Structure 1
Amino acid sequence: MIAALPLEEEAVDVRPRTAGPWQTIVWNDPVNLMSYVSYVFRTYFGYTADRAEQLMLQVHRSGHAVVAEGAREQMELHVHAMHDYGLSATVREAPS
């Protein structure tokens, strides 16, 4: 006779992988000028000069800034665009 082993319960995250919202994070680097980072934020995201400057200063002082929030696919497109501009950027799920 073969003995059956008891089934172990395993916690499974059943949330869809695209649950969100998601964020685009731009990271500080020693390469790009602050004026260039502001230029990118104005040009790509369409931020006002004041908003672009605030975000750039947050990147400079805190090491990073959330520059956009929304659907994961859109945030991934933003990250690729930031890389094309030479900026360091990543996507993360927004903290709940």
Structure 2
Amino acid sequence: MPDLDAETDRALSEQPPSTWQTVVWNDPVNLMSYVTHVFRSYFGFDAPTAHRLMLAVHHDGHAVVARGPREVMEAHTQAMHDFGLWATVRKDPA
């Protein structure tokens, strides 16, 4: 008789880990220059990347600024809150 626990463990270990996103949302308070500064200082983005993401927040209403394990995305989201930005965690649809 097959070991069902071993089969389940193997099936779970073969699946890729869940990926989550940190999403920063547009708000009526923060200046675009400040959002760019936060993206550069916290995430370490270069100036063009930080500027592009800030423009996505401004024009599209939001931008995905990070992807990874849920716990890490929750930490990024809390950091964005600490900077005064609106941010959420969501499951990566990809």
Identity %: 65
State the 4+ residue runs in structure 1 displaced beyond 4 angstroms: none
User: Secondary structure of 2:18's partner?
Assistant: coil
Residue 52 of structure 1 is matched in structure 2 by: 50
The RMSD of aligned alpha carbons is: 1.1
In structure 1, C-alpha distance between the alignment counterparts of 2:74 and 2:18, rounded to whole Å = 13
User: Secondary structure of 2:93's partner?
Assistant: coil
Residue 28 of structure 1 is matched in structure 2 by: 26
Residue identity opposite 1:22 in structure 2:
W
Structure 2 length as normaliser, TM-score? 0.82
User: Secondary structure of 1:77's partner?
Assistant: helix
Q: How do 1:43-82 and structure 2 match up within 5 A?
A: 43-82=41-80
In structure 2, C-alpha distance between the alignment counterparts of 1:94 and 1:62, rounded to whole Å = 18
In structure 2, C-alpha distance between the alignment counterparts of 1:28 and 1:20, rounded to whole Å = 26
Residue 89 of structure 1 is matched in structure 2 by: 87
Query: Unpaired segments of 5 or more residues in structure 1?
Result: 1-14
Rg larger for: 1
Distance apart, 1:65 and its partner CA: 0.2
User: Secondary structure of 1:20's partner?
Assistant: coil
In structure 2, C-alpha distance between the alignment counterparts of 1:79 and 1:28, rounded to whole Å = 14
Structure 1 length as normaliser, TM-score? 0.80
1:39 to 37, 40, 54: 37
Equivalences, count: 79
Higher-helix-fraction structure: 2
In structure 2, C-alpha distance between the alignment counterparts of 1:83 and 1:20, rounded to whole Å = 23
